[in-house]
Structure 1
Amino acid sequence: MAAATEGSIDVRDHGMSLDKKKGRVQCNYCGKVVSGFFRLKCHLGGIRGDVIPCENAPQKVREQFRDSLLERKTEGFCKEVGEPYHLNLPQKRHCCPNLNSVEHNKHEIAQNGSTYFAMHVDIDSSTEDTLMDTAPCPNGSIGSQAAINCESRKYSSSSEAQKCIARFFYETGVDLSAANSPSFKRMINATLGHGQTEYNIPSCQELKGWMLNDEIKEMQRYVKNIRHSWASTGCSVLLDGWIDEKGRHLVNFLVDCPQGAVYLRSSDVTSFISDVDILQSLLDGIIEEIGVDNVVQVVACSTKGWVGDVGKQFVDRCKRVVWTVSASHCIELMLEKIGMIESIKRILNEAKTIIKFIYGHETVLSLLKKHTLGCDLIKPSTRLAMPFMTLENIVSEKQHLKDMFASSEWKTSFWASRIEGKRVADLVGDQSFWNGIGNALKATTPLVRVLFLIKQADKPQVGYIYETMDQVKETIKEEFKKKKPHYMPFWQVIDEIWDTHLHSPIHAAGYYLNPSLFYSSDFFGDAEVAFGLLSSIVRLVQDQRSQDMISRQLEEYRHARGSFEEGSALDQRTNMPPALWWSRYGRQYPELQRFAIRILSQNCDGASRYALKRSLAEKLVTTGRNPIEQKRLNDLAFVHYNLQLQQFQSGTKLDIVAEEIDPMDDWIVDQAPETVFQNGLFSWINFDTYGEGPSNIRAKKEPW
């Protein structure tokens, strides 16, 4: 093999001619066969185009051939174009030898133009005088660096566009083969401005290949950064279980923390649905993978089925992690049970009769739109909250409904003389119907508001849920003028779900450790709170010495001594999240500080708040694919779900969407809710009063 000397740039010293007639040449370093010595120069110089760069060539050899090619291109172009000049052409630098040395240019090109050469140089093997097109500059010179910068910007723009297109496919889960659709290509290129060339739209194979690999690497870095935070803030395992159309019991495992949620994996648990021991082992493996010391709680998506069965045994089998049930799921259970109370059920059925009649007949609906100025009665929401939110809308349009059924258009219409039309008109004119709606809303509006505040919260909630559920009960009591026979049936429903499913020791501990509540004048630390705090310490802190230190440090916190004294001031404890407060004012008490931060950094809601689509997971757990296709599907699921979670974390939150069921069937419509509560996490705001419905929800203590 010929050695590369310091000044040698003779390509024949670095390759061997195999066939002079066909011009076949073999590289001395890697053995690759190329057509001609010019291609060998490009191969050795690392110029990607029709030939792959040599990975084995010494660095000095690569630099020599790259410099040689650039110098030849510069001289050849200057001779060809003479002195081209145009206002729109780059004029940053003269690059003829008398003005700018090739030696200077080659250094900048090596640093700034590598991407350009790697992707965009198309070499003509029959011509050594033309390497690539670059923009000229005045005085018979070629502005090589400016040209390369220009081309690099073009490439960067094209590359960014390709990345955005690829990310669209990965995030939405659209079939990758759609990238080959002529309509899709026309749609993308139709967005270009006048005079621009077409985008280099990635193909289906590129989306499945190197572009997916690049996205995986980027997502792995994102997930890795989140995983690093688990040791300090702790994390929650979220279970997202469902039964698909094939009757399979499936579950997604997510990990949630203040830095963001990440998707872990999907599993089909159908084959061992009745074996709690295997299900528990599966969950134990997830916790071990995350790190037992990192996991604070498991948040279940349901209280029934295999999830409920595992939950019943979890406390006894796993001594270091807390089992909780999603707060939004529990509140939906409360609404469901309240809806089964006879007086509430009757009102819901009567309201449903009105809705189905109006929306079931085009002429009646047009008349409604005329009187309500286009407003709808149906209030899109989640399945169990939607009936009560629709009641709010009906009350808000009460006068318009009465005017509609009293109008001449109605009285002269076909439906005014029909039995069902008369029944609906009578309902709208019946005061007892409106009184019944008012009572239903008094009992449910506080729960509905908290449900949506939880789902749309952007801050950890464990430190607030205990107090908030107490506020819900007190608000209902006030709405019914403190008349016990009126509010107690609803209290009993709330208490039953709270005691059986929702209440957790870490909720009580979060209430105690939340400085905005603990240092308020009406903090109430009863035996339930004390027991929850103690249980959390025993379960989440394994070291006996640390447990003892936490117990002693709690006395300092309780009496607001040391650094806690400054933090107990009203503005300090109310103007920052509880976990941040502890990181700032708990440094003198590291054991208690770590314990408090880990609890107050958790959410009390489950995976439903992220509204992840399940179709890709259903494909993922379907067997019968070859290993290569299965791996690609695993990669797509990893990118797909984590991109959605990343968007949620960045503030691009998915709307809470009801299931795709007929709008007239059980109040369900496939739209996002219109009501969006702002003002931060669980900020009790003055909600609109709907006619004879409940008055505004008020906080009796510090707001969420």
Structure 2
Amino acid sequence: MAASEGSINVHDHGTALDKKYRVQCNYCGKVVSTFFRLKCHLGGVRGDVAPCENVPQNVRELFKNSLLERKTESFGKGVGELYNPTLPQKRNCCPNLNSVKHNKHETAQNAGPCDLRQVDMDSTVKDDLSGSGSLPNGSIGSQTAINSETRKYSVSGQAQKLIARFFYETGVDFSAVNAPSFKRMVNATLGHGQVEYSIPSFQELKGWLLEDEVKEMQEYVKKIRHSWASTGCSILLDGWIDEKCRHLVNFLVDCPLGAVYLRSVDVTSFIGDVDKLQLLLDRVIEDIGVDNIIQVVSYSTKGWVGDVGKQFMDRCKRVVWTVSASYCIELMLEKIGMIESIRGVLTEAKTITRFIYGHETVLNLLKKHTLGHDLIKASKIRSAMPFMNLENIVSEKQNLKSMFASSEWNTSIWASRTEGKMVGHLVGDHSFWTRAGIALKATMPLVRVLSLINQADKPQVGYIYETMDQVKETIKEELKNKKSQYMPFWQVIDEIWDTYLHSPIHAAGYYLNPSLFYSSDFYSDAEVSFGLLNSIIRLVPDQGSQDLISRQLEEYRLARGGFKEGSAIDRTTTIPPALWWSRYGRQYPELQRFAIRILSQSCDGALRYRLKRSLAEKLLTTGTNPIEQQRFSDLTFVHYNLQLQQFQSGEKCDIVAEEIDPMNDWIVDEAPETASQNSQSSWMNLDFAETAINGEGPSRFQAKKEPL
């Protein structure tokens, strides 16, 4: 089956199977419908047939060149020949200047059943026009026209890819490309009304354009995968129950270079069987490489992930199980909200907002007294919304009092009604404002940290241990160190921390974070020491390496060798802990690698990326034919990874619909915001948390646990 250099016979590389023209590839055994499709298969030219991975390179090149030649000849017949005796006639693929509106889509339709992805028509035109010969009659006008036409094709090809990426990124139905208004919009934007550009068709969006995008995204994912061996990575679980009561989960892999989407799985049939669920996780871990993985980050403590989490550390000795920090903090807020005194003041605050926003005249009066400021602002963090809205109410305390004392209110019909009298009395009640202040002092430190974790773009494992201690200490100070007031809130925080949030790698991250370790108030108790030792044993399987790390930790502790210079760095510097280790830990490679892999991890889960779950739901729907199933799998792969790629680059946009159930009795139709900007309350000034979560080096103020 050796191929000659000049020509090649496809019949030498495939075997006809029957009279229905089915052909089997001699290299990989794949069966295709015709010998022409076999050429596409062997030449590696993607259309609706996958390229052969086993064909020799010289054979592939010959078939590819043969297909390209056929493509250009077909193109020349379709649009007319441009006469130029100095150019090879078989490459005359520049469109006839009288056919300005001819486009790539029309060419593809004439190219036969194998989609050649438009075969780099732009570069072919450029090569032809850069030849040494002159144009007929030396016409400068003709040269200008050709250059203009060439630019049109170049811009149009790029525009097609950008348009396609818009559809893949947003998840908009491909049929929208056929809308006349969409075509007018694109042409008016790109061509400024002067040139009509080629807009990709429905078939192209799910054909060669999608395949090109998949190829590009695979290269992006491959680049990130290569970093896992050095920085380690985290498996992020994103699970939910859809309208069909199916238990679905997306698997993401997170590392400092960014998160990537791995796969979606329907685990409904596994529910109740921890062994099968663990086997599923084992397969994912094997796919990624157990040596690359530091932790699995769960999205919840309930359901099947809760069941798996209880046994995971015993079943899997090489990976740590953790729960998303933002989920645990939200759980703390929910439990604090159920404390009787807090629940009472939240109910009263809700009574005020329901009344004001339920009556147009009262709402207009509020806007007048608050200069347009709202009491209610939507948020993506559901558990934080009651406290953020309460803070907004407290920040408008004087304006609310002024409103209910005004002549406009006293002369309104609502001032004489029972509901209006009750709300007016509540706003004038000193005890309400006192209780509201206590509730905010106990909860806003948690809300602040939750917001920072959601916005952070740097690994946080090295800071979460210290941050939670600082939250507790801030609450204690705000409540004037009165044990009877702060202990109920500490009990809730400690319960969630001890049961779910705390992990050995959090303690190890605290110890290995130089900005904390070399500060004067560093505090290492038994919990920290045990967490560090546990992490070494679990994540470093080689006994020899464990012994080396233990000895090198003594050098780190005493700030000797290369650590001496690093320990003297100003605490206010913004050097991330992992970068510090890469600079100053070179003399101790085993400890350096261990520290970098720990400090490169996030403590938050997949929910922060807010991926569009409907795509995974459709992907996991059975009954779709194999071709469509593969195409939708490609689309899901591209869509999710485009979202994650943009998140990493900082190009975050709210194109994904809000999936948290709205609290209709709190929310008004406004853009999502965080707590009121007018508040200058001291409980919002968690300087440590802000610098810590953002990767800066703060001084530490250790909060010891007090007996319950």
| TM-score bracket relative to the smaller structure | 0.7 to 0.9
Distance 1:45 1:471, change over 3 A: closer
1:621-700 alignment, distance < 5 Å: 621-654=620-653, 659=659, 661=661, 664-665=664-665, 667-668=666-667, 673-675=672-674, 690=679, 694=683, 696-699=685-688
**Which residue is 2:698 aligned to?**
703
Are 2:156 and 1:158 equivalent residues in the alignment? yes
Paired letter, 1:141: S
**Which residue is 2:355 aligned to?**
357
Report if the CA contact (8 A) 1:49-1:119 is conserved: no
Are 2:507 and 1:512 equivalent residues in the alignment? no
Paired letter, 1:471: Q
Paired letter, 2:159: A
**Which residue is 1:472 aligned to?**
471
1:321 Cα deviation from its structure 2 partner: 0.1
Are 2:543 and 1:544 equivalent residues in the alignment? yes
Paired letter, 2:524: G
What's the TM-score, normalizing by structure 1? 0.80
Correspondence for 2:75 among 49, 53, 68: 49
Aligned length: 602
**SS of corresponding position for 1:266:** strand
1:77-476 alignment, distance < 5 Å: 115-116=121-122, 140-142=138-140, 149-192=147-190, 194-381=192-379, 382-476=381-475
Are 2:542 and 1:521 equivalent residues in the alignment? no
Paired letter, 2:464: I
**SS of corresponding position for 2:456:** coil
Report if the CA contact (8 A) 2:378-2:670 is conserved: yes
Report if the CA contact (8 A) 1:567-1:585 is conserved: yes
Distance 1:264 1:117, change over 3 A: closer
1:145 Cα deviation from its structure 2 partner: 7.1
Higher RCO (C-alpha 8 Å, min separation 6):
2
Report if the CA contact (8 A) 1:42-1:51 is conserved: no
Report if the CA contact (8 A) 2:335-2:492 is conserved: yes
Further displaced range: 265-274 or 491-500: 265-274
1:141 Cα deviation from its structure 2 partner: 3.0
Report if the CA contact (8 A) 1:659-1:668 is conserved: no
1:572 Cα deviation from its structure 2 partner: 7.6
1:692 Cα deviation from its structure 2 partner: 6.9
Further displaced range: 594-603 or 151-160: 151-160
**Which residue is 1:67 aligned to?**
88
Further displaced range: 143-152 or 178-187: 143-152
Further displaced range: 529-538 or 415-424: 415-424
**SS of corresponding position for 1:458:** coil
1:262 Cα deviation from its structure 2 partner: 0.3
Report if the CA contact (8 A) 1:657-1:671 is conserved: no
Report if the CA contact (8 A) 2:459-2:599 is conserved: yes
Distance 1:277 1:670, change over 3 A: farther
Any unmatched runs of 5+ in structure 1? 6-26, 31-39, 54-62, 81-112, 122-130, 677-686
Report if the CA contact (8 A) 1:659-1:669 is conserved: no
**SS of corresponding position for 1:298:** strand
**SS of corresponding position for 1:293:** helix
Deviations 1:638-662 (A, max 9, x none): 0010000000001012459854645
Report if the CA contact (8 A) 1:241-1:251 is conserved: yes
Q: Supply the distance in 2 between the matched residues of 1:249 and 1:356 (Cα, whole angstroms).
A: 36
Deviations 1:94-132 (A, max 9, x none): xxxxxxxxxxxxxxxxxxx963376899xxxxxxxxx9x
**Which residue is 1:124 aligned to?**
none
Report if the CA contact (8 A) 1:116-1:151 is conserved: no
Q: Supply the distance in 2 between the matched residues of 1:242 and 1:71 (Cα, whole angstroms).
A: 56
Q: Supply the distance in 1 between the matched residues of 2:632 and 2:657 (Cα, whole angstroms).
A: 26
Report if the CA contact (8 A) 1:511-1:518 is conserved: yes
Paired letter, 1:198: E
Distance 1:190 1:159, change over 3 A: same
Report if the CA contact (8 A) 1:47-1:118 is conserved: no
Distance 1:291 1:669, change over 3 A: farther
Report if the CA contact (8 A) 1:158-1:199 is conserved: yes
**Which residue is 1:585 aligned to?**
584
Report if the CA contact (8 A) 2:345-2:435 is conserved: yes
Report if the CA contact (8 A) 1:479-1:695 is conserved: no
Q: Supply the distance in 1 between the matched residues of 2:67 and 2:584 (Cα, whole angstroms).
A: 66
**SS of corresponding position for 1:388:** helix
Q: Supply the distance in 2 between the matched residues of 1:139 and 1:427 (Cα, whole angstroms).
A: 92
**SS of corresponding position for 1:564:** helix
Deviations 1:216-273 (A, max 9, x none): 0000000000000000000000000111122111110000000000001111111121
Q: Supply the distance in 1 between the matched residues of 2:94 and 2:489 (Cα, whole angstroms).
A: 84
What's the TM-score, normalizing by structure 2? 0.79
Distance 1:632 1:73, change over 3 A: closer
Paired letter, 1:452: S
Distance 1:514 1:237, change over 3 A: same
Q: Supply the distance in 1 between the matched residues of 2:244 and 2:301 (Cα, whole angstroms).
A: 22
Distance 1:149 1:532, change over 3 A: farther
Report if the CA contact (8 A) 1:437-1:693 is conserved: no
Paired letter, 1:529: V
Q: Supply the distance in 1 between the matched residues of 2:295 and 2:549 (Cα, whole angstroms).
A: 20
1:190 Cα deviation from its structure 2 partner: 3.8
Q: Supply the distance in 2 between the matched residues of 1:229 and 1:383 (Cα, whole angstroms).
A: 35
Deviations 1:256-295 (A, max 9, x none): 0000000011111111211111011111110100000001
Distance 1:669 1:253, change over 3 A: farther
Any unmatched runs of 5+ in structure 2? 7-35, 40-65, 99-118, 700-708
Are 2:502 and 1:496 equivalent residues in the alignment? no
Among all aligned residue pairs of Structure 1 and Structure 2, give the percentage whose two residues are the same amino acid: 72
1:432 Cα deviation from its structure 2 partner: 0.8
**SS of corresponding position for 2:383:** coil
Report if the CA contact (8 A) 2:135-2:143 is conserved: no
Paired letter, 2:139: S
Distance 1:392 1:164, change over 3 A: same
Paired letter, 1:230: W
**SS of corresponding position for 1:258:** coil
Report if the CA contact (8 A) 2:94-2:125 is conserved: no
Report if the CA contact (8 A) 1:378-1:393 is conserved: yes
Deviations 1:570-609 (A, max 9, x none): 3388331000111111111110000000000000000011
1:408 Cα deviation from its structure 2 partner: 1.9
Q: Supply the distance in 2 between the matched residues of 1:442 and 1:572 (Cα, whole angstroms).
A: 28
Q: Supply the distance in 1 between the matched residues of 2:644 and 2:67 (Cα, whole angstroms).
A: 48
Distance 1:364 1:670, change over 3 A: closer
1:613 Cα deviation from its structure 2 partner: 1.2
Report if the CA contact (8 A) 2:93-2:124 is conserved: no
**SS of corresponding position for 1:253:** strand
Q: Supply the distance in 2 between the matched residues of 1:645 and 1:4 (Cα, whole angstroms).
A: 45
Report if the CA contact (8 A) 2:619-2:632 is conserved: yes
Q: Supply the distance in 1 between the matched residues of 2:489 and 2:678 (Cα, whole angstroms).
A: 20
Deviations 1:464-523 (A, max 9, x none): 000000000000000011111110000000000000000000000000000010001100
Q: Supply the distance in 2 between the matched residues of 1:309 and 1:436 (Cα, whole angstroms).
A: 39
**SS of corresponding position for 1:49:** helix
Report if the CA contact (8 A) 1:116-1:148 is conserved: no
1:369 Cα deviation from its structure 2 partner: 1.5
Report if the CA contact (8 A) 1:688-1:696 is conserved: no
Paired letter, 2:426: L
Report if the CA contact (8 A) 2:259-2:645 is conserved: yes
Distance 1:196 1:695, change over 3 A: closer
